[in-house]
Chain A
Amino acid sequence: MQFILALFGALGARVNGAITRLGFASRFILAVLRLSGPSFVRFTLTIREIYFAGVMSLVIISVSGLFVGMVLGLQGYDILVRYASADAVGSMVALSLLRELGPVVAALLFASRAGSAITAEIGLMKTTEQLAAMEMMAVDPIARVVAPRFWGGVISMPILAAIFSIVGIFGGYLIAVILIGVDEGAFWSQMQAAVDLGSDVGNGFIKSFVFGIAVTWIAVFEGYDAPPTAEGVSGATTRTVVWSALAILGLDFILTALMFRGA
């Protein structure tokens, strides 16, 4: 009996803690949005963060995109050739990339490359009292440090996803057309017939934008909330990657259900 009570007590404390944290995270993102003025008035602040979040992720995004596209080309050809429709490999590669893999894989890579870096940077600035120093100079760290990083990430993410998809389609083209010998005209025309600008490209873009908000929100929050010690920062970095991955996949399901329901 006592054991069960203790169990419920522990569970309750856990849930309570999680909800409190969610509340703080929501209050935090509102503060970030409210204090976002300087990120746009002094756009150089944000440009710097776009550089670190976006440009620095370019290599890993392009290389992964190329490989994912090539794998899709191989697998797609292998399956489609059984139904005598190998020509459709172009549309399969493009649709999988634009609707799902582009935004999702790019966001996962972005979370582990840029998200963890953002968390570690803000966490270390907190640990070394740089945030406190800023506050003592009457400069709000949320406006000066957090908001530019948030917007840098949010702006970078859709661009990265688009680049991922393009490189992936090129990878699929390399495998299907150059290596296997699918007819080039059929590859592109089938793709163009199947892919719709609004519902495929547009919805993929919306997905990547939503993922960008989720990942950078988690990253800046974990960094800002990290306990000011070495273990605290490393734990926060891990949490950023784990929570980002869960958020991306969960949101992906919700968005897919909303966007591609029949019709």
Chain B
Amino acid sequence: MNRNRLLDLWVGFFVALGIAALFVLALKVANASSFSAGASYSVIGKFDNIGGLKVRAPVKSAGVVVGRVTDISFDNESFEAVVVFAVADRYRFPRDSSAKILTSGLLGEQYIGLSAGGDTVNLKTGDTLKITQSAVILENLIGQFLYNRAAEGGAGDKK
């Protein structure tokens, strides 16, 4: 029977090691703590253009991650992108807050920036944001710039 005890001891040690490894992976290596499990409320934002925004992209306010994008769809009547994002329950925002689609760094990932408004009533699940600002599309920006230059140049010629 002694031999079995030793075997059990080793296997127990092995399994404990495996569980410990998973715990370290979950707590130290991965960002489990953020929003995978905690309670949250869902808010809807409609954008003309979301650029490269993806599901699971972060929602930040003042640079702090407060939520994640949970769903992106297309509204076939208003021809807008409908973005649903979950905000953690412990963060409260006024009802007239606004959302922008921003890019971290020049080539980084896109995220939603949430700016607080001044209303006394807070956002709750199902609310739609009134003020949104679409993603900045580099091609549009360059096109606009070129158009403005051409317009200026044309005006100059006429003078």
Contacts and interface: CB of A to CB of B under 8 A. Distances in A.
Interface of A: 44, 47-48, 50-51, 54-55, 58, 94, 98, 156, 158-160, 162-163, 165-166, 169, 188, 191-193, 195-198, 200-201, 205, 263
A165 B30 CA distance: 12
A196 B10 contact: no
Interface in B73-102: none
A201 B29 contact: yes
Given A48-B7, A51-B11, A55-B14, A196 B25 contact: no
Contacts of B8: 47
Given A158-B18, A162-B18, A165-B21, 4 more contacts: A50-B14, A192-B31, A198-B36, A205-B22
Chain B interface size range: 20 to 34
Interface string B44-74: 0000000000111000000000000000000
A191 B28 CA distance: 9
Contacts of A166: 21, 24-25
B30 A195 contact: yes
A196 B32 CA distance: 7
Given A197-B32, A197-B36, A98 B15 contact: no
A47 B11 contact: yes
A76 B138 CA distance: 31
User: Which residue, of A51, A160, A166, A188, has the highest number of chain B Cβ atoms within 10 A?
Assistant: A166
A195 B31 contact: yes
A197 B26 contact: yes
B4 interface: yes
Contacts of A94: 29
A190 B142 CA distance: 33
Contact of A263 (B24, B30, B31, B54): B54
